[in-house]
């Protein structure tokens, strides 16, 4: 089915070109990156991408395994050796085409997937006690090379319209991948987005230095060329109700409204001024451009910042705070570094950028000054106890070990809950106890014409899973609408 089968003649030849020994003796590529001292002064992307020669060499490390385990580690089963071998033979366009078979947003995923826990963790090299093939770097290389190519002579294959139209609520990775898949099948697709920018978390959450907006915009423009309509400033359930969508002639709705609602810890003093969610902090800076000349949105630019949490959002917040000029940035996490859910690379980058890691610490109270501004946090030292249901060793407080630390800004990054706007505005839409939309194996909700996917179904998850849901839901909805 794939456009790059393992038994293709060129792949046979390529496998013979080098011995396994030769391949495994090549060291893993090192991602060229901006110097830490420089990068904290600007918002430029830290990872610069592999050069052509580095990418081809890295691709030649891949053994093109007969039973490639990397693919099983990928949540959407990208044909990994298929695209890598195309890089090795310098057919970059074909490499990108293999990626596009399964992933709507390879340039994004190559940058933000936790590869060390997915594909790369399953690579055969790990068994040989060697560093795995840099699948993420190569994915990014193939996608970027394709995006930089001159597309003006490409023949755009416009799908034949099938006369049916579908609506999408939310323009994050789930919504965008659904839209692309449905447009290719000939549907008239409109994506409605509550915010004034298209892109979901990719725009308002993940910072420019990790995922430049231009990378996301290329994908959005590609969808627009396919005929997908994007409507910003429009909230499904508020601006347009579900009944109204039906009245407008939509045959189906895909809900991809994300897990927007930030959680707080409920500890004393959390309502003080200059304590905010990471969503608020990152939105002010990434979406509203707070701190940039001419922009009206304010954000506190202060000296001592504490970020509570250990996920990607926490890492993005500490690194952003450094770039906003804070000299002392602390990451407060209640477990140890081993348990941190953040991508390994973000942890490494944050440390290089001078972030202090206060692992095994948990805030228990915030103290304010006479103006209601936070001035200090009381942190409780923790130690690891017995493993809990999730298998992670749960942190327990060390009695009496509470310390007061001065801070000017606290960013709370302890997770998100599903956005309640849509569930609360559509009667008969079943939700779980956690507030996520309930779907069956086909991503279909309790209302047959409504499908859902991404974080609104999973709670806070990942870009690749959201994207996979979008594809899956598109296939299911197409099946339903074709059977009708």
Cβ proximity to another protein: between 123 and 236 the closer is 236
Angle between helices 312-323 and 344-352 (to 10 degrees): 20
Q: How far is the CB of 152 from ligand SF4 (least distance, A)?
A: 34
Q: How far apart are CA 30 and CA 57, in angstroms?
A: 12
Distance of CA 331 to the CA centre of its chain: 21
Which residues lie closer than 8 Å to 233 by C-beta, 6 or more apart? 193, 194, 195, 196, 239
Please, are residues 108 and 202 in contact by the beta-carbon 8 Å criterion? yes
Instruction: Note whether 313 binds ligand FAD by CB under 6 A.
Output: yes
**Which of another protein, ligand SF4, ligand FAD, none sits in contact with 68, Cβ below 5 to 8 A by type?**
ligand SF4
- Choose, by CB under 6 A, the member of 54, 135, 416, 463 that binds ligand SF4: 135
Instruction: Note whether 297 binds another protein by CB under 8 A.
Output: yes
| Beta strands 361-368; 374-387: pairing state | antiparallel
Query: What tokens appear for 162 in the block?
Result: 């099938």
- Choose, by CB under 8 A, the member of 152, 153, 160, 294 that binds another protein: 294
Q: How far apart are CA 476 and CA 414, in angstroms?
A: 34
Query: What tokens appear for 93 in the block?
Result: 């366009």
- Choose, by CB under 6 A, the member of 107, 124, 456, 467 that binds ligand SF4: 124
Can you spell out the DSSP letters for 434-472?
TSPBP--TTSB-SSTTEEE-THHHHSS--HHHHHHHHHH
Other beta carbons less than 10 A from residue 66's beta carbon:
8
Instruction: Note whether 81 binds ligand SF4 by CB under 6 A.
Output: yes
Query: Which residues in the 210-229 window bind another protein by CB under 8 A?
Result: none
Instruction: Calculate the dihedral angle through the C-alpha atoms of 154, 160, 164, 165, rounding to the nearest 10 degrees.
Output: 10
Q: How far apart are CA 212 and CA 207, in angstroms?
A: 7
Cβ proximity to ligand FAD: between 194 and 414 the closer is 194
Q: How far is the CB of 382 from ligand SF4 (least distance, A)?
A: 37
- Choose, by CB under 6 A, the member of 171, 274, 277, 320 that binds ligand FAD: 171
Q: How far apart are CA 194 and CA 212, in angstroms?
A: 21
Instruction: Note whether 249 binds another protein by CB under 8 A.
Output: no
Instruction: Note whether 206 binds ligand FAD by CB under 6 A.
Output: yes
Q: How far is the CB of 357 from another protein (least distance, A)?
A: 25
**Which of another protein, ligand FAD, ligand SF4, none sits in contact with 256, Cβ below 5 to 8 A by type?**
ligand FAD
**Which of ligand FAD, ligand SF4, another protein, none sits in contact with 362, Cβ below 5 to 8 A by type?**
none
Q: How far apart are CA 78 and CA 215, in angstroms?
A: 20
* Interaction site with another protein (CB under 8 A): 194-196, 204, 232-235, 238-241, 244, 260-262, 264, 266, 270-274, 276-277, 279-280, 283-284, 288-289, 294-298, 371-372, 419-421
Residues near ligand FAD (CB under 6 A): 112-113, 169-175, 192-195, 200-201, 205-206, 235-237, 256-258, 260, 282, 312-313, 316, 343, 419, 421-422, 454-456, 461-464, 466
């Amino acid at each position: 089915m794939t456009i790059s089968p393992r038994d293709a003649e060129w792949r046979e030849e390529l496998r013979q070109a080098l011995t396994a020994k030769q391949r495994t003796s090549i060291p893993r590529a090192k991602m060229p990156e901006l110097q830490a001292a420089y990068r904290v002064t600007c918002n430029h992307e830290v990872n610069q991408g592999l050069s052509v020669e580095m990418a081809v060499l890295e691709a030649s490390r891949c053994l093109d395994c007969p039973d490639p385990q990397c693919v099983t580690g990928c949540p959407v089963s990208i044909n990994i050796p298929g695209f890598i071998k195309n890089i090795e033979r310098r057919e970059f366009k074909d490499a990108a085409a293999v990626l596009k078979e399964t992933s709507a947003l390879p340039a994004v995923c190559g940058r933000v997937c936790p590869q060390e826990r997915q594909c790369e963790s399953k690579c055969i090299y790990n068994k040989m006690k060697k560093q795995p093939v840099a699948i993420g770097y190569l994915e990014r290389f193939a996608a970027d090379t394709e995006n930089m190519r001159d597309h003006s002579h490409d023949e755009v294959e416009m799908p034949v319209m099938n006369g049916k139209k579908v609506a999408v609520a939310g323009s994050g990775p789930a919504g965008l991948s659904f839209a692309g898949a449905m447009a290719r099948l000939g549907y008239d697709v409109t994506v409605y987005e509550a915010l004034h920018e298209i892109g979901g978390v990719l725009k308002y959450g993940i910072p420019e230095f990790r995922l430049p907006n231009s990378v996301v915009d290329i994908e959005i423009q590609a969808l627009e060329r396919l005929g997908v309509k994007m409507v910003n400033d429009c909230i499904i359930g508020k601006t347009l109700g579900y009944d109204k969508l039906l009245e407008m002639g939509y045959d189906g709705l895909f809900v991809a409204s994300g897990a927007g609602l930030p959680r707080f810890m409920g500890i004393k003093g959390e309502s003080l001024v200059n304590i905010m969610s990471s969503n608020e902090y990152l939105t002010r800076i990434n979406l509203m451009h707070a701190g940039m000349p001419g922009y009206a949105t304010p954000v506190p630019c202060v000296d001592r910042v504490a970020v509570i949490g250990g996920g990607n959002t926490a890492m993005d917040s500490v690194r952003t705070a450094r770039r906003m000029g804070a000299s002392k940035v602390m990451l407060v996490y209640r477990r140890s570094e081993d348990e941190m859910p953040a991508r390994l690379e973000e942890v490494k980058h944050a440390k290089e950028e001078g972030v202090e890691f206060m692992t095994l610490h948990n805030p228990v109270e915030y103290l304010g000054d006479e103006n209601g501004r936070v001035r200090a946090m009381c942190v409780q030292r923790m130690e690891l106890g017995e493993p809990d249901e999730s298998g992670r060793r749960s942190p327990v407080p060390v009695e009496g070990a509470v310390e007061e630390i001065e801070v000017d800004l606290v960013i709370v990054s302890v997770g998100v809950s599903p956005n309640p706007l849509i569930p609360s505005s559509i009667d008969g839409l079943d939700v779980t106890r956690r507030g996520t939309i309930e779907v069956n194996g086909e991503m279909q909700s309790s209302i047959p014409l409504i499908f859902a996917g991404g974080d609104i179904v999973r709670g806070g998850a990942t870009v690749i899973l959201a994207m996979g849901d979008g594809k899956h839901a598109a296939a299911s909805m197409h099946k339903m609408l074709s059977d009708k």
